[in-house]
Structures are given as structure tokens and as C-alpha cells.
Amino acid sequence: MIHFDIITIHPELLTGPLDHSIIKRGRDKGLIEINLINLRDYTTDKHRTVDDYAYGGGAGMVMMIEPVAKCLDDLRKQRSYDEIIYLSPDGKLLDQQLCNRFSLYKNLVLLCGHYKGIDERIREHLITMEVSIGDYVLTGGELAAAVLCDSVGRLIPGVMSDETSALSDSFQDNLLAPPVFTRPAEFNGWKVPEILLSGNEKLIYDWKHDQALKRTLERRPGLLSDDPPN
């Protein structure tokens, strides 16, 4: 069981992506809880303001600390959190190892930033870590939060019908996944590798491992070296 509280000014960006397929099933089974919190509900002015001009000038609005602090105070009355995560391109890169770590946690806050950034004091005092999903810039943290919920949620025991499938994913053993095939055995003259039709389990197992190694060497050799790919 894992519980996510996601703080955002665009909750509608997160409803669709997390309401399908495996993650939906996990939520229906009560194994994944995703609570979307509209940051504007923690404002006090008529216009429900969550951003303001940057001190010292510069382009872009900055997310204010007060609504975030109020929201977190409220959340912390209800549960204690393993991490309060700010999604930001400056953060620690999300890889399978970090997903595995998060999947052992019970309660996580995901704070989605916007505009030109968030008041630095939020980062210094209110959050416990920053996570990025890759070296490119998104308009906001919402899609990154969806990626984190999906990649972590599917690791929660019972969420996937075939328990072994998360373990045989690409990256779990630092290898990319081997190629897979289904019927027909021949299409347009393109044949499924003979060995997969042989019924010899040992041979098939070894072939898959070889293919995974070969593919990793060709495409992501960094995964095989000792230095972390990040």
C-alpha cells in the first residue's frame, strides 16, 4: 500500500494519466492511493493567488511559500511522510533504483512546481528532496509526478497481475529487456527466432539473457559499467 498526496495548481493534468490500466486497477484494489490537492484551496485572497513577481526582478512568476506551507501543515496533521518531494529538473534523476526505494515507502508528498520556479525557502525548509525525470524541461511538475506515480505504483505488490513481471522489467538487473514475439510465427517472410518455438526452457532462458546483454551493450553500455549512468 502506498499513498501519494500530490500538490498542484493543475489537478486536471493528473486525473487522466493515473486513471487507466494497471494504476487504475491498483487504486481500485486499494493498493495505491492518489490524492490530488489543489494548491489554490490554500490561498486566502479573492483571486486565489499562488504566484508573485520575483524579488530583484527577472522574467517569470515565482510560486509563493504561504499556500505551500499551509497545505503541508494541513497534510502533516493527517499522516507523517517518508519524503516530501519537489519535482524539478534540478533534482536527483529518477531511475529504477530510486523507484524501487520509493516503492518501499508508505506516504509521499509530490509538490508540482510551475512558473519560473518556487520560492527558494520552500526548497530549503519545507521539502525533503528534489526529483527530476530527465535532462529536459517540462512546463510543470505534473507530468513528472504522473511518471513517478506510475513507475512506483506498479512495483507495489499485488498491483500487477503477474508478480514476476516487475522483476523481469528492463533495468531491474541493469539490463534492457530481450525482444519478445507473438503469433504468427512468420509474417511477410519475417520469422520468429527458431529457439523460441523449440520448447526447450533452458535454451530459451539462455537466449533471452544473451539477447538482453547484447542489446544493453549496443544501446546502453553505461548500464553495464560500475559507474552509475547518472
For the segment 144-203, give every residue that binds ligand 6GU (CB under 6 A): 144
Per rule CB under 6 A, is residue 17 in the interface with ligand 6GU? no
Residue 63 or 133: the one with the smaller Cβ distance to ligand 6GU is 133
- Distance between CA atoms of residues 78 and 187, nearest Å: 57
Count of residues interacting with ligand 6GU (CB under 6 A):
12
Burial 215-226 (b: 16+ CB within 10 A, else e): bbeeeeeebeee
Residue 207 CB, nearest approach to ligand 6GU (Å): 36
Residue 183 CB, nearest approach to ligand 6GU (Å): 39
Residue 84 CB, nearest approach to ligand 6GU (Å): 14
Strand pairing report for 186-187 and 190-191: antiparallel
The beta strand positions in 58-152, using DSSP E, are 61-63, 83-93, 107-112, 129-132
Residue 14 or 160: the one with the smaller Cβ distance to ligand 6GU is 14
User: Grid coordinates in use for 53?
Assistant: 513577481
Helix (H, G, I), strand (E, B) or coil at 28: helix
Please count the helices (runs of H) and the strands (runs of E) in the chain: 9, 9
Residue 149 CB, nearest approach to ligand 6GU (Å): 12
For the segment 114-143, give every residue that binds ligand 6GU (CB under 6 A): 132-134, 136-138, 140-141
Tally the residues of the chain.
Answer: 230
Cβ–Cβ < 8 Å for 64, 126: no
Residue 13 CB, nearest approach to ligand 6GU (Å): 12
Residue 134 or 158: the one with the smaller Cβ distance to ligand 6GU is 134
Per-residue interface string for the shown chain with ligand 6GU, residues 67-96, x marking contact by CB under 6 A: --------------------xxx-------
Residue 68 CB, nearest approach to ligand 6GU (Å): 16
Cβ–Cβ < 8 Å for 25, 31: no
Phi then psi dihedrals of residue 111, to 5 deg? -105, 120
Q: Which residues would be at the binding site for ligand 6GU (CB under 6 A)?
A: 87-89, 132-134, 136-138, 140-141, 144
